[in-house]
Chain A
Amino acid sequence: MVDFYIDLFSSVDFIKPYQSSIFIISVVLSGIPIFGFMAVNALVAVYVERKVSAFMQDRLGPMGHGVGLHAGKWGVLQTLADAIKLLTKEDIIPKSADKKLFLLAPCIIFIGSFVAFAGFPFNEFLVAADFNLGLFYILAMSSVGVIGIILAGYSSNNKWSLYGSMRSAAQIVSYEIPAALSLLPIVMLSGSLAFKDIVLAQTGSTLGILPNWFIFDNPFMIVAFWLFFIAGVAEVNRTPFDLPEAESELVAGWMTEYSGMRWAFFFLAEYANMFIVAGVATIGFLGGWLSPIPGFFEGNIWGVFWLVSKTSFLIFVMMWFRWTFPRLRTDQLMRMCWKFFLPGSFFVIIGVGLWDLLMR
Chain B
Amino acid sequence: MNTPEIIKKIQSSFKKITLDENHPDRIISSTTEWEELSKFLRNDYELFFDSMMCITGIDEGIDSNNLGVVYNLHSMKYKHKIEVYIPVDKKNPTIFSVEKIWRMADWFEREIYDMYGIIFDGHSDLRRILLPEDWEGFPLRKDYEFPKTWHGIIVDKIKEGWE
| Direct touching of A and B (C-beta under 8 Å) | no
User: B-side interface residues toward A, CB under 8 Å?
Assistant: none
